[in-house]
Amino acid sequence: MLKIYTEDYFQKIILLEKQVGKKTSYKVLEPFSINPKDIISIQNAGKKIAEFIGLPDFTFIIATVKQKEKVGGNIDLKYGEKEVFVEISDNIIKYENAILATLAHEITHKYMHINNISCGSNTLNKYENEVLTDIASVFLGLGKLMLNGCECENIRQEYLPEKTRTITETLKCGYLNQTQLAFVYLLVSTMRRISPDDYKHGLSSDSIQALLYCENKYPYYFNKRFSEPNIRGELVEHLHSAIRDTQSTLSNIDKHLLYIQNSCTYVIEDFLEKKHKVIMNMLLESSTMMNDVKYDPCLKFLNAVQLNQRISKLISRLYDFSLEAKLYQNSVTKITNYIQSTGYPFLQPSLDMFNTVVCRNDGTKLKLPKDNPYLLSRCPKCNYQFIADTSLLIAEEYKCNKKRHRIKNIFKRLFKKQ
Ligand SMILES: [Zn+2]
């Protein structure tokens, strides 16, 4: 079974609908009988088909002529002449339905010619134009003739002296096969809301089978709901609903982020800022501590006692800070360990993450040298001097493993020595 190029056929039907849809009747020409041996009967068939698709002013003069292999017929297309010459192959002359399908195809060529419908006049488009013509003949209401006549079978008995031989001859004409035509026919019938009774009437059992096959294989294209008046609204609403679902998940992630910020990041930042500000003041104070009276040894002594008291107080305060900081450090380490063990979408630590440091006294960002665990830095804006660590963050667990590994190695070495 040949492939059905659904998208291509779909585009060609859109092209036809845009160009001649408004003046095309929704009627389908019912199959009719002709006498294949009578050229007048064939002539009348041509006239009937031409009138049906709206070409009553032309006279189609039909002759049976030997054609090239696999060519069912051809038509002489000239502008400005009322007589149109059509040749049909002597091969198909014994198949009544094939004659009708060939006439439908050739006369449709004339319709396209006078309506200027094509995929382009270049010879490269010849095949495309033939496919378009097959589709157009269905579009113009000749689908039943096309379906019944595109693949014909002739079974005859030959009587030989000893036995009877059954000879089956098959003939394919046109460019689309029966299944491909069935797809086009079903699509056109569905978009025009023709009832199944009407579009199936008069079709051969083969044609009906081909329709059934397409209905089952491509149900998407034949869904009646695409004809409903508010279908665009429904489809767009479907998209909007999917958008809202995604946004809802995104907003939930955002809520988590807000929680992380408010419960953790901001708390840590606040802590760092407060402590650094106090330390900044200590540093400022310390810069005056060297000032002393020059010549009175007793006063120098007393001042030193006082300074010692003051410094002890400050150091005790720093000790309290350290205890509090340890708590923050433990908690924040747990979080970074957890992030590292979670992996994607979170990133593993890299040196680029750690060399932009914030001065916690005034918020200035400092770009510092990479990979230094103990950098004495000074903020260019507020002059605050602080220690920065731009080395890679390593998970605590990993550090522990390393330590364990080292201890294991020491034991190993000791054991070997014994
Ligand atoms: Zn600063």
pLDDT digits (tens, 9 = 90+) for 134-179: 999 999 999 999 999 988 777 767 777 777 777 777 777 778 999 9
For residue 311, the CA-to-ligand 1 centroid distance in Å is 24
CA of 386 to the centre of ligand 1 (A): 10
**Does 360 map to a domain?**
no
Structurally, the chain folds into a number of domains equal to 1
Using CB atoms within 10 Å of the CB of residue 186, give its burial: 0 to 12 exposed, 13 to 18 middle, 19+ buried.
buried
- Residue 78's pLDDT band, with cuts at 50, 70 and 90, is confident
* Two structure tokens written together for 222: 């034949």
| Residue 141 structural domain | 6-227
How many Å lie between the centroid of ligand 1 and the Cα of residue 385? 8
pLDDT at res. 277? 97
How many angstroms does the Cα of residue 377 sit away from the middle of ligand 1? 10
* 326 part of a folded domain: no
**How remote is the CA of residue 280 from the centroid of ligand 1, in Å?**
10
How far away, in angstroms, is 318 Cα from ligand 1 center?
A: 20
User: 352 C-alpha to center of ligand 1: Å?
Assistant: 21
Q: Which of 62, 87, 85 is nearest to 72 (CA)?
A: 87
Evaluate whether residue 55 is within a structural domain.
yes
List of residues 6+ apart from 191 with CB closer than 8 A: 13, 17, 226, 227
Residue 30, domain member (yes or no): yes
Q: Does residue 260 form part of some domain?
A: no
* pLDDT (0 to 100) of residue 2: 62
321 CA distance to ligand 1 middle (Å): 20
Distance 375 CA to ligand 1 centre (A): 15
Using the mean position of ligand 1's atoms as its centre, give its distance from the Cα of residue 131 in Å: 76
Q: Element (H or E) spanning 6, and its range?
A: helix 6-20
pLDDT of residue 401: 59
Per the domain annotation, does 351 fall within a domain? Answer: no
Of residues 80 and 177, more confidence is placed in 177
354, 393 Cβ separation under 8 angstroms: yes
Residue 79 within a domain:
yes
Q: For residue 105, name the pLDDT band (cuts at 50, 70, 90).
A: very high
Give the pLDDT band of residue 3 (cuts 50, 70, 90). confident
User: How far does the centroid of ligand 1 lie from the alpha carbon of residue 266, in Å?
Assistant: 19
Q: Tell me if 148 is assigned to some domain.
A: yes
**C-alpha span between 32 and 202 (Å, rounded):** 9
- What is the CA(309)–ligand 1 centre distance, in A? 29
Query: How far, in Å, from the CA of 183 to the mean position of ligand 1?
Result: 74
Q: How many angstroms separate the alpha carbon of residue 276 from the centre of ligand 1?
A: 10
Predicted local distance difference test score (pLDDT) of residue 411 = 65
